[in-house]
Amino acid sequence: MPSKSTRRFIIVDDSTIGEARDRQEETRPRKRQRVDEDDEEERKKEEASSAGARLVCDPDYYKEDGNCVVRVDNILFNVRKELLLTSHTFADLLEGRRGVIDGHPLQLHDISVKEFRALLFALYFQPEDGRLVALPLDHTGAEFVILLATISHKYAFQEIHKWATEILEHTASSNPVFMESCSSATLSLMVDVAVQCGIPHLLSSVVDKWSERVYHKSTPSVPAMQAADKHELLSLRGVAYYVHVQDMLDRQTHTPEGGGTQLRVDPKLNNGQVMRLLSGYCSLVSYWERLRLKPLELPHASDACTVDAHLACMATWERRWMSAVGWKRILGYNSADILALLTCLRDQLSGDEELKKGTTPECRAAGLDLLKTHAETTREHLSDHFFGCI
Ligand SMILES: [Zn+2]
């Protein structure tokens, strides 16, 4: 029998499918006052959704000593009510429900079976010293703790959330071996949980490690670009886009006659990301073109060099700079690889005999230090180049 209202499913996000009757319901807050009408509506919904599904007791968490039956999808859990009441969200949900029995369990719609089992695992976990402790993580364990951190936040189990986030923070900041071997998917989940739950220390640890790995190419750039764009993480965006531009240029082919570049971009990137990538390329090339024609001003080591002598220092510095930027070694880099170009330029100038002869040693050293600092600052601000179009 078709119901009066039209039921349809909506995709809430990549991993969640929700049920809605109309647009109004999609925007209605999930937490509602428990009034008779809502109870009736919920019962109808349960009946409708269970029509084709056989209810099954969970093998681990349908406990004999349980006094609260909860249904998630078609799985029934029977657990100790006092454990659930440690969350004020569950306290609200259970308030006023008398004698919860199998025939009318508390049904949860916005949690998966896997997530609810993870919560119950933590609620039933009884460490010997009475405290939840940080455990060394393997990859499966990490995914579990990330899941737990997310779902305990959503359902306000504060102790569990604190425990899970402490493990993640400790791992991200103090376990470099694990962080080096993490997949992009796990790093992305860690970023998600840090953003959703507002854990800045975890976020900065994961982003720093991820940026470093992308820069040294021990992990691919595209997932880092996706995560950076999703959460507006500027430092990760800068490094990930920068590395991707260099790799992209290496993969291009050219037409044999006119030498035109047949641009290929990663199909996982959307149009906005491609635009950001190309504008970044343009910005980096333009930056190098300005810099190679206008040398950084040589600092004056006034303790060791007079004002007049420094005029000669500066003239030599500019002359050798202009010469070095045309050397074969520098020309071997593409013009968008600004960090490699700056490193190479410093390297060339530090070994340049004419620069040694034509400057006081202290001014020369200050100039080389300036180039090093300039490269570091440029790296820190890479995201400036990938702003996109104004
Ligand atoms: Zn000088």
| 221 plus 322 within the same structural domain | no
- The neighbourhood of ligand 1, an ion, using CB within 5 A, equals 305, 310, 313, 360, 363
Cα(375) to centroid(ligand 1), Å: 22
- pLDDT tens-place string over residues 7-42: 333 333 433 333 333 333 333 334 444 445 555 555
Q: Name the domain count of the chain.
A: 2
- pTM for this structure? 0.79
User: Mean pLDDT of all residues in the chain?
Assistant: 84
Domain membership of residue 121 (yes or no) is yes
Domain membership of residue 33 (yes or no) is no
Which pLDDT score is estimated for 7?
Answer: 38
Task: Choose from 7-11, 149-153, 240-244 the range with maximum mean pLDDT.
Answer: 240-244
The candidate with the shortest Cα–Cα distance to 112, out of 147, 73, 139, is 73
Q: Which of 59-68, 219-228, 289-298 has the lowest mean pLDDT?
A: 59-68
- pLDDT tens-place string over residues 191-211: 999 999 999 999 999 999 999
Separation of alpha carbons 48 and 42, rounded Å = 10
387 confidence band (pLDDT: 50, 70, 90) = confident
Cα(299) to centroid(ligand 1), Å: 7
Cα(352) to centroid(ligand 1), Å: 16
Phi, psi of 76 (to 5 degrees): -105, 135
Q: Of 200, 222, 245, which residue sits at a domain end?
A: 245
For the chain, how are helix, strand and coil distributed in percent, rounded to 5? 60, 10, 35
**Domain span holding position 300:** 276-386
| 207 plus 282 within the same structural domain | no
Q: Average pLDDT of 371-388?
A: 94
Give how far the C-alpha of residue 282 lies from the chain's centroid of Cα atoms, to the nearest Å. Answer: 26
- pLDDT tens-place string over residues 260-272: 888 888 899 999 9
Beta bridge partners of 79: 68
The candidate with the shortest Cα–Cα distance to 374, out of 331, 341, 350, 327, is 341
Separation of alpha carbons 278 and 235, rounded Å = 18
Region of 99 on the Ramachandran plot (φ > 0 left; ψ -120 to 50 alpha; else beta): left
| 355 plus 284 within the same structural domain | yes
Which pLDDT score is estimated for 22?
Answer: 35
